[in-house]
Structure 1
Amino acid sequence: MNKYPLIPTILGAAFTLACSTQLSLGQTGDQTIAFLSDVHLQDVYADLHSKEFKGVLNPRNGKFATIRTMKSQLNSTRLFNENYFAFIQALEDLKQKGIRWVVLPGDFTDDGQPMNVMALKSILDQYSRDNGMRFFLTTGNHDPVKPFGGIAGKRDFLGVNGAEQAIAGSTDFFQSTTVAKSDQINYWGYPEITQALADFGFFPHPDDLFWAHPFEELDYDHYEFEKTKTNSTLENRMYSIDGSEGLLPDASYVVEPTEGIWLLALDGNVYTSSENGNWNGSSIGFNQASIYKKHQLDWIQKVVAEAKKRHKTLISFSHYPLVEFHDGASEEMKSLFGQEKFQLARVPSSETSQQYAATGLQLHFAGHMHINDTGIYQDQLSNNTLYNIQVPSLAAFPAAYKTIQKTGQNQFEIQTIPLNEVDHMNEFFDLYRMEHRWLLENQRPGIWDSTILASKDYAAYTKNHLKELTKSRFIPSDWPKSLVALLQTMNEEELLNWSKMDLKEGALFLSKKLSPTEYPLSGTPQMIEDFYLLKNGDELGKKLIPSDRITFYQSLFSAQVDTRHTEEKSLSWQLAQFIGIFQKLFYSLPADHFQIDLHQKTIEKKD
Structure 2
Amino acid sequence: MTKSKTKSKISCLICFFLLSFLPLASCGTHQKFMYQTDKDIQTLLKTSPAYPDTRFAVVSDLHFYDKTLGISGSAFQKYLDDDRKLLTLSEEIIAAAMEKISRENVRFVLIPGDMTKDGERINHEGVVKTLKKLESSRLKVYAVPGNHDINNGDAARYEGDETKPVPGINDMDFRVLYHEFGYKDAIATDKESLSYILEPEKELWLMGLDSCKWKENKPLSHPHTDGSFSPSTLAWIESQLILAKKEKKAVIVFMHHGIMEHYPANKKFYGKYIVDNDETVAELLAAYGVRMVFTGHYHAQDITKKEFKDSGNFIFDIETGSLVTAPCPYRIVEIKNGRSAVIKSIFIDSIPSMKDKFSGYAYDYVFNGTITMANAALDGYRVSKKQQPLISGQVSKAYCAHLSGDEKKPEMTINKEGFGLWLTFIAWMQKDLINGWWTDLPPNDNNLTIDLITGKVD
Q: TM-score, normalised by structure 1?
A: 0.58
Q: Is the 8 A contact 2:113 2:256 kept in 1?
A: yes
Question: How far apart are the structure 1 equivalents of 2:342 and 2:370?
Answer: 33
Deviation at 1:295, TM superposition (A): 2.0
Question: How far apart are the structure 2 equivalents of 1:66 and 1:306?
Answer: 54
Distance 1:267 1:42, change over 3 A: same
Deviation at 1:423, TM superposition (A): 1.9
In the alignment, does 2:363 pair up with 1:463?
yes
Equivalent position of 1:590 in the other structure: 444
Equivalent position of 1:119 in the other structure: 126
Equivalent position of 2:416 in the other structure: none
Deviation at 1:109, TM superposition (A): 1.8
- The amino acid of 1:413's aligned partner reads V
In the alignment, does 2:199 pair up with 1:256?
yes
Deviation at 1:530, TM superposition (A): 2.8
- The amino acid of 2:401's aligned partner reads L
Equivalent position of 1:560 in the other structure: none
Write out aligned runs for 1:70-109 (5 A). Answer: 72-109=79-116
Deviations 1:280-321 (A, max 9, x none): 942212xx32xxx12222222233333334333311000111
1:397 pairs, out of 307, 322, 326, with: 326
Question: How far apart are the structure 2 equivalents of 1:72 and 1:38?
Answer: 18
Deviation at 1:135, TM superposition (A): 0.8
Q: Is the 8 A contact 2:225 2:272 kept in 1?
A: no
Distance 1:373 1:34, change over 3 A: same
Q: Is the 8 A contact 2:259 2:279 kept in 1?
A: no
Q: Is the 8 A contact 1:377 1:386 kept in 2?
A: yes
Equivalent position of 1:223 in the other structure: none
Question: How far apart are the structure 2 equivalents of 1:265 and 1:535?
Answer: 26
Q: Is the 8 A contact 1:44 1:66 kept in 2?
A: no
Distance 1:271 1:145, change over 3 A: closer
Write out aligned runs for 1:16-95 (5 A). Answer: 31-45=54-68, 69=76, 72-95=79-102
1:581 pairs, out of 436, 441, 453, with: 436
In the alignment, does 2:59 pair up with 1:204?
no
Question: How far apart are the structure 1 equivalents of 2:117 and 2:434?
Answer: 36
Deviations 1:127-174 (A, max 9, x none): 222x1111101011111135xxx8x6536x3x5xxx445443xxxxxx
Q: Is the 8 A contact 2:65 2:116 kept in 1?
A: yes
- Between the aligned residues of both structures, percent identity stands at 20
Distance 1:354 1:122, change over 3 A: same
Deviation at 1:524, TM superposition (A): 5.1
Q: TM-score, normalised by structure 2?
A: 0.75
Deviations 1:423-442 (A, max 9, x none): 2359xxxxxxxxxxxxxxxx
Deviation at 1:352, TM superposition (A): 4.8
Q: Is the 8 A contact 1:68 1:80 kept in 2?
A: no
Equivalent position of 1:537 in the other structure: 404
2:266 pairs, out of 330, 335, 345, with: 330
2:224 pairs, out of 260, 273, 282, with: 282
Deviation at 1:123, TM superposition (A): 1.6
Q: Is the 8 A contact 2:147 2:214 kept in 1?
A: no
Distance 1:258 1:278, change over 3 A: same
Q: Is the 8 A contact 1:32 1:403 kept in 2?
A: yes
1:380 pairs, out of 291, 306, 309, with: 309
- The amino acid of 1:101's aligned partner reads F
Question: How far apart are the structure 2 equivalents of 1:457 and 1:96?
Answer: 23
Question: How far apart are the structure 2 equivalents of 1:382 and 1:277?
Answer: 45
2:388 pairs, out of 505, 521, 524, with: 521
Deviations 1:90-112 (A, max 9, x none): 11001122224011111112222
Distance 1:139 1:277, change over 3 A: closer
Structure with max Cα Rg: 1
Deviations 1:408-456 (A, max 9, x none): 2221011111111122359xxxxxxxxxxxxxxxxxxxxxxxxxxxxx6
In the alignment, does 2:208 pair up with 1:265?
yes
Question: How far apart are the structure 2 equivalents of 1:117 and 1:35?
Answer: 19
C-alpha RMSD of matched pairs (Å) = 3.5
Question: How far apart are the structure 2 equivalents of 1:577 and 1:279?
Answer: 31
Distance 1:478 1:101, change over 3 A: farther
Deviation at 1:189, TM superposition (A): 0.7
- The amino acid of 2:61's aligned partner reads D
Deviation at 1:33, TM superposition (A): 0.9
Equivalent position of 2:240 in the other structure: 303
Question: How far apart are the structure 2 equivalents of 1:397 and 1:294?
Answer: 37
Question: How far apart are the structure 1 equivalents of 2:223 and 2:434?
Answer: 36
Distance 1:518 1:120, change over 3 A: closer
In the alignment, does 2:361 pair up with 1:420?
no
Equivalent position of 2:174 in the other structure: 193
Deviations 1:156-214 (A, max 9, x none): x3x5xxx445443xxxxxxxxxxxxxxxx21111112221221111x233xxxx62113
Equivalent position of 1:601 in the other structure: 455
- The amino acid of 2:188's aligned partner reads A
Distance 1:143 1:330, change over 3 A: closer
Distance 1:391 1:577, change over 3 A: closer
Equivalent position of 2:12 in the other structure: none
- The amino acid of 1:187's aligned partner reads G
Q: Is the 8 A contact 2:329 2:345 kept in 1?
A: yes
Deviation at 1:372, TM superposition (A): 0.8
SS at match of 1:41: coil
Equivalent position of 1:344 in the other structure: 271
Question: How far apart are the structure 2 equivalents of 1:352 and 1:140?
Answer: 18
Distance 1:165 1:480, change over 3 A: closer
- The amino acid of 1:330's aligned partner reads N
- Structure 1, gaps ≥5 residues long: 1-29, 47-54, 57-64, 169-184, 215-236, 240-249, 335-340, 427-455, 486-516, 543-549, 558-568
Deviations 1:38-68 (A, max 9, x none): 001122357xxxxxxxx68xxxxxxxx9998
- Structure 2, gaps ≥5 residues long: 1-52, 414-423
Q: Is the 8 A contact 2:345 2:446 kept in 1?
A: yes
Deviations 1:521-577 (A, max 9, x none): 2365554333112222212x65xxxxxxx7xx24x59xxxxxxxxxxx968955975
Question: How far apart are the structure 1 equivalents of 2:149 and 2:434?
Answer: 37
How many residues are treated as equivalent by the alignment? 394
Question: How far apart are the structure 1 equivalents of 2:246 and 2:173?
Answer: 36
In the alignment, does 2:326 pair up with 1:319?
no
Deviation at 1:124, TM superposition (A): 1.7
In the alignment, does 2:294 pair up with 1:365?
yes
SS at match of 1:82: helix
Question: How far apart are the structure 2 equivalents of 1:44 and 1:99?
Answer: 31
Equivalent position of 1:411 in the other structure: 340
Question: How far apart are the structure 2 equivalents of 1:598 and 1:79?
Answer: 35
Deviations 1:311-355 (A, max 9, x none): 3331100011111111x3436xx3xxxxxx4x3333355455344
SS at match of 1:603: coil
Question: How far apart are the structure 2 equivalents of 1:352 and 1:475?
Answer: 37
Write out aligned runs for 1:470-509 (5 A). Answer: 470-477=370-377
Distance 1:257 1:580, change over 3 A: closer
Question: How far apart are the structure 1 equivalents of 2:311 and 2:239?
Answer: 16
